[in-house]
């Protein structure tokens, strides 16, 4: 990760970059140190990655430009424009998927909102999981699937976030939907149910 020292430094570094990422973190904070470590791990062996970082203890003029109120936060830019934010410390596999372009965004153009990040937590034997994934595919909604039967860390994190062990669970920009709640999922994605 390349450290940036101001908002203008960031703008100069990301201009003319098709994709770029900026981690806003607070060195010494457990969650920030976790995010920094997992992002470093997730970015390993990925060529031509434009990955930057700014410690908010030192750099205090970036977060206000993007309305970021908590750290750690990973900001995603496409063609120098702010696209999305991923908050907190996530598993290195999520960051790796993001950096490898396998974490897809469903383009929703509802009132100029940012694109939506959709994660589906499931297991292979779950029939409702398959119904949910089929519904998303039918509506051309791109998502990343996380098989909690193979990823214990993701399963534990999901229980912490939702208080539920069951699947499917869908994370739409940080909002967790337990089960296949078609009306709620449709509403959040701007689909007619």
On whether the CB atoms of residues 83 and 14 are closer than 8 A, the answer is no
- Position 110 pLDDT exceeds 80: no
> Sign of the C-alpha dihedral, residues 80, 84, 89, 95?
negative
How far apart, in Å, are the Cα atoms of 132 and each of 117, 137, 187?
16, 9, 14
Same fold yes or no, 2-99 and 105-189? yes
pLDDT in tens, 15-63: 988 889 999 999 999 999 999 999 999 998 888 899 999 999 999 999 8
Q: Which CATH superfamily is domain 2-99 in?
A: Glutaredoxin (3.40.30.10)
Q: Which CATH superfamily is domain 105-189 in?
A: Glutaredoxin (3.40.30.10)
pLDDT in tens, 163-188: 888 999 998 888 899 999 999 999 99
For the segment 101-124, the average pLDDT, to the nearest whole number, is 60
């Amino acid at each position: 990760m390349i450290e940036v020292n101001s908002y203008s430094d960031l703008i100069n570094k990301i201009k003319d970059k098709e994709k770029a990422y900026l981690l806003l973190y607070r060195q010494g904070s457990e969650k920030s140190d976790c995010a920094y470590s997992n992002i470093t791990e997730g970015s390993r062996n990925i060529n031509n990655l434009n990955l930057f970082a700014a410690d908010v203890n030192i750099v205090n003029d970036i977060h206000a430009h993007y309305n970021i109120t908590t750290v750690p936060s990973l900001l995603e830019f496409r063609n120098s424009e702010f696209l999305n934010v991923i908050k907190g410390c996530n598993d290195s596999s999520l960051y790796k998927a993001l950096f490898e372009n396998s974490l897809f965004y469903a383009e929703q153009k509802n009132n100029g909102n940012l694109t939506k990040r959709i994660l589906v937590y499931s297991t292979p034997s779950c029939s409702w999981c398959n119904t949910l994934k089929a519904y998303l595919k039918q509506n051309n909604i791109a998502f990343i699937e996380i098989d909690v039967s193979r990823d214990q860390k993701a399963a534990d994190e999901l229980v912490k976030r939702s208080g539920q062990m069951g699947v499917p669970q869908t994370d739409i920009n940080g909002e967790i939907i337990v089960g296949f709640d078609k009306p709620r999922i449709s509403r959040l994605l701007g689909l007619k149910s």
